[in-house]
């Protein structure tokens, strides 16, 4: 008996270690590789063998932004499956290795390094949260490996260097969209801002919103802040309530926004909340309940879009994963397709040629809008405003750059 | 003024919950001189047990006394059992080893739980935060002015439950045979064993008690903030630990006072300054207390050989 306890403990530790490992190369990484090998078995069995092109993804699969990474991964996986079914890239199959960044920049940097030095991927897709993408971009730029972020909207991400691209619009635009919508469509006069002080994304959005909204003749009642991971926002909301605003701009992520909405109603704030694409997750409805209904956020795409390309994507996605794809899945899908097209056009698979091929992307028909990369490697696209209803979103308007 | 009063109410609501978690730290430390860093994560597991129970019962869990009692009972008993297992298989084998060994094990268990629960396989809940079912239907219990100050029923209920649990604990420690045994073990567990006190059993029961208490606190926390996630134990646990140290770790009323002070300080800092300052002020306050009164507000300084 005396020996049993330490042994059990050791077994537990091994189990924990095994679990830890499993979270890192996710099922999709293995599935992608297996799918590729199933069709064209490579003798060495190495995923980066001569008949396979290995891509990498870093995303949040655990932690506070987990649905972002998972949605993105599903979108990417779908694009790769389609491409492989259609014959791959110049006769080679595509595979992807996915690492989890646990919603933390330091993990993202480490995962990117691993993809570059160990797995030797030809390009990297990811992340969603700008703070994580910034950490990855540094590594990718230094190594000369092209990186496409599907949905990091913070301006500075692509400023890290000429190897960093994105297929979404940037925050100044998103802040402008909501300011314009609040002022012209909702006709709000005084708006309070509640920003996430730990996220580059949130600070950037709130800065642009504040500037544009004031320029358009509105007034900012107060600017309060919270930190990612908080669950009690009553102090800030109580302070906001005192200023009696007509609306509250909360450019945060769904995991916090849902709870903020509930507590805002609780302290007696009945005005609409407004936000950005960080709200986009089915979890928002669960966390926010009825409190979040009647709020608005700017987004990349609307599932209501009747375009057959979008509807086909939604149907395929539903068949594969169940549920309506959010914008992050759509952007993951677009990013992977832009990457695949670029790989087809590239002279060879070296960093510089892939980079040049991506940079030439023009009028690419994505499900979340047409992608044309400008000379700053940003996509120029329009945004939609969605209204949160009972368990789903509703298209309100499109705002052009 | 109204704002101040509202902040006071919010701060007390947060503080009482910190207090219940802090009591767990203090009890285990008092008896074993072990900082059980897995305490917050045991709380998190308890919250998920309550979550699962509430869903299993369905609609009846909401509002009905029996439903709420069932949710609390399952979570608290389940956690007590888990506390027993952790003590039996992780800490007891290390009891005669240097204290650092047990501390490191505690941190290991903490991470195993908080990251293990983020896996999305089988019964594990996955990484995304979830909305905790409203087992106490929120209603406004007291409204002053034009909703200037609002007190909610769950705030009052939580406060009463928390105070009840604290009084019960104080009685248990100072008014019962088991409490006397606990204090004896805390004094010196080898001598206590020589005097015929079943130390192993006392220690196991202390762990069960503190873990059950943590589950209760976790449920109150989940009712308050409506969102649960596998990492919640790390945040709340750290705060409660700070509260216990401020009050003087090992001191039961000290933990309560420390937690209330911490809850209020945080609320005021966020309400009147900025949330960015919250942790800095909380930990700054901790450092200040330790500098001025190294044993905490109520604790005694015991010379210790390192």
pLDDT in tens, A134-185: 999 999 999 999 999 999 988 899 999 999 999 999 888 999 999 999 999 9
Question: Where are the domains positioned within chain B?
Answer: 1-292
A197 contacts B276? CB cut-off 8 A: yes
B276 contacts A227? CB cut-off 8 A: yes
Report the largest interatomic distance among the alpha carbons of chain B, rounded to a whole angstrom. Answer: 65
Mean predicted confidence (pLDDT) in A288-302: 92
* Domain covering B1-292, topology: ABC transporter involved in vitamin B12 uptake, BtuC (1.10.3470)
Residue A311 has pLDDT above 50, yes or no: yes
What pLDDT sits at residue B306?
Answer: 47
Place A231 in a pLDDT band, splitting at 50, 70 and 90: confident
Q: Which residues of A touch B227 (CB under 8 A)?
A: 231, 255, 258-259, 287
Token couple for A298 = 């700017």
Closest residue on chain A to B86 (Cα)? A9
Min distance A357 CA to chain B CA atoms (Å): 37
pLDDT in tens, chain B (306 residues): 778 888 898 899 889 999 999 999 988 988 888 889 999 999 999 999 999 999 888 766 677 888 888 999 999 999 999 999 999 999 999 988 888 898 999 999 999 999 888 887 777 777 778 888 888 877 888 888 777 788 888 888 888 888 888 888 889 888 999 999 998 998 888 899 999 999 999 999 999 999 999 999 999 999 888 889 898 998 899 999 999 999 888 888 888 899 999 999 999 998 888 777 888 888 888 899 889 888 888 876 665 544
Q: How many CB pairs under 8 A join A and B?
A: 119
Q: Which residues of B touch A230 (CB under 8 A)?
A: 275
* CA–CA distances in Å: residue B132 to residues A259, A384, B54, B137, B221: 11, 31, 9, 12, 10
Compare CB distances from B89 to A8, A61, A63 and report the shortest one's residue: A8
Upper half-sphere CA count for residue B67 (Cβ side, 13 Å): 18
Does the pTM surpass 0.80? The reply is: no
3-state helix, strand, coil in chain A (%, to 5): 50, 20, 35
Contact in structure between A232 and B12 (CB atoms under 8 Å): no
Q: Where are the alpha helices (DSSP H) in chain B?
A: 2-32, 39-57, 65-86, 99-116, 153-175, 177-187, 189-194, 199-225, 232-247, 252-272, 276-292
Q: Cα dihedral angle (A81, A87, A89, A95), rounded to 10 degrees?
A: 40
B224 contacts A6? CB cut-off 8 A: no
Q: Residue A66 and residue A44: Cα distance in Å, rounded?
A: 34
Place A41 in a pLDDT band, splitting at 50, 70 and 90: very low
Q: Residue count of chain B, please give it.
A: 306
Q: Which residues of A touch B89 (CB under 8 A)?
A: 5, 8-9, 12
């Amino acid at each position: 008996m005396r020996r049993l306890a330490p042994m059990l403990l050791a077994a537990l530790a091994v189990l924990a270690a095994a679990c830890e490992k499993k979270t890192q190369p996710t099922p999709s990484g293995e599935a992608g590789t297996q799918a590729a090998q199933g069709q064209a078995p490579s003798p060495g069995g190495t995923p980066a063998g001569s008949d396979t092109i290995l891509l990498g993804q870093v995303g949040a699969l655990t932690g506070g932004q987990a649905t972002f990474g998972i949605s993105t991964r599903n979108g990417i996986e779908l694009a790769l499956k389609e491409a492989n079914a259609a014959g791959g890239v110049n006769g080679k199959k595509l595979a992807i290795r996915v690492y989890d960044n646990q919603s933390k920049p330091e993990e993202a940097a480490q995962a990117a390094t691993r993809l570059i030095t160990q797995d030797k991927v030809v390009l990297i897709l990811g992340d969603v949260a700008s703070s994580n993408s910034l950490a990855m971009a540094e590594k990718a730029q230094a190594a000369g490996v092209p990186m496409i972020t599907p949905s990091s909207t913070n301006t500075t991400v692509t400023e890290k260097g000429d190897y960093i691209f994105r297929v979404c619009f940037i925050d100044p635009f998103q802040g402008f969209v909501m300011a314009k919508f609040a002022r012209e469509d909702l006709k709000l006069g005084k708006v309070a801002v509640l920003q996430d002080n730990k996220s580059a994304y949130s600070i950037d959005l709130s800065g642009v919103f504040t500037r544009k909204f004031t320029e358009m003749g509105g007034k900012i009642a107060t600017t309060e802040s919270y930190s990612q991971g908080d669950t009690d926002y009553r102090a800030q909301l109580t302070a906001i309530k005192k200023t009696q605003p007509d609306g509250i701009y909360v450019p945060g992520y769904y995991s916090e926004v849902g709870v903020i909405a509930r507590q805002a109603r609780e302290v007696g704030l009945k005005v609409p909340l407004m936000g950005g694409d960080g709200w986009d997750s089915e979890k928002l409805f669960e966390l926010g309940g009825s409190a979040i209904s009647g709020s608005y956020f700017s987004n990349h795409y609307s599932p209501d879009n009747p375009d057959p390309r979008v509807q086909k994507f939604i149907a395929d996605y539903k068949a594969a994963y169940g549920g309506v794809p959010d914008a992050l899945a759509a952007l993951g899908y677009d990013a992977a397709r832009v990457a695949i097209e670029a790989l087809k056009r590239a002279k060879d698979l070296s960093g510089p040629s892939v980079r040049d091929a991506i940079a030439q992307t023009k009028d690419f028909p994505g499900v979340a809008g047409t992608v044309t990369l400008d000379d700053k490697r940003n996509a120029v696209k329009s945004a939609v405003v969605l209204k949160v209803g009972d368990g789903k979103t509703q298209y309100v308007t499109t705002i052009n750059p | 003024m109204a704002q101040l009063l509202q902040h006071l109410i919010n701060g007390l609501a947060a503080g009482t919950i910190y207090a219940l978690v802090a009591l767990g730290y203090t009890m285990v430390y008092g008896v074993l001189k072990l900082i059980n860093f897995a305490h917050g994560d045991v709380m998190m597991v308890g919250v998920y047990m309550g979550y699962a129970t509430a869903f299993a019962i369905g609609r009846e869990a909401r509002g009905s006394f029996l439903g709420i009692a069932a949710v609390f009972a399952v979570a608290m008993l389940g956690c007590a059992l888990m506390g027993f297992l952790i003590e039996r298989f992780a800490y007891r084998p290390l009891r005669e080893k240097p204290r650092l060994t047990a501390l490191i094990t505690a941190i290991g268990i903490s991470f195993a739980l908080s990251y293990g629960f983020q896996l999305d396989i089988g019964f594990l809940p996955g990484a995304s935060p979830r909305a905790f079912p409203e087992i106490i239907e929120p209603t406004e219990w007291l409204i002053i002015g034009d909703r200037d100050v609002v007190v909610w029923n769950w705030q009052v209920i939580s406060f009463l439950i928390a105070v009840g649990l604290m009084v019960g604990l104080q009685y248990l420690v100072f008014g019962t045979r088991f409490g006397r045994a606990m204090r004896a073990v805390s004094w010196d567990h080898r001598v206590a064993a020589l005097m015929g006190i079943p130390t192993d059993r006392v220690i196991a029961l202390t762990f069960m008690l503190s873990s059950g208490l943590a589950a209760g606190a976790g449920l109150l926390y989940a009712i308050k903030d409506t969102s649960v996630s596998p990492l919640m134990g790390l945040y709340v646990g750290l705060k409660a630990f700070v509260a216990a140290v401020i009050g003087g770790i090992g001191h039961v009323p000290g933990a309560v006072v420390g937690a209330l002070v911490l809850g209020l300080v945080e609320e005021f800092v966020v309400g009147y300054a900025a949330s960015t300052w919250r942790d800095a002020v909380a930990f700054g306050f901790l450092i200040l207390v330790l500098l001025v009164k190294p044993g905490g507000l109520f604790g005694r300084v015991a010379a210790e050989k390192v």
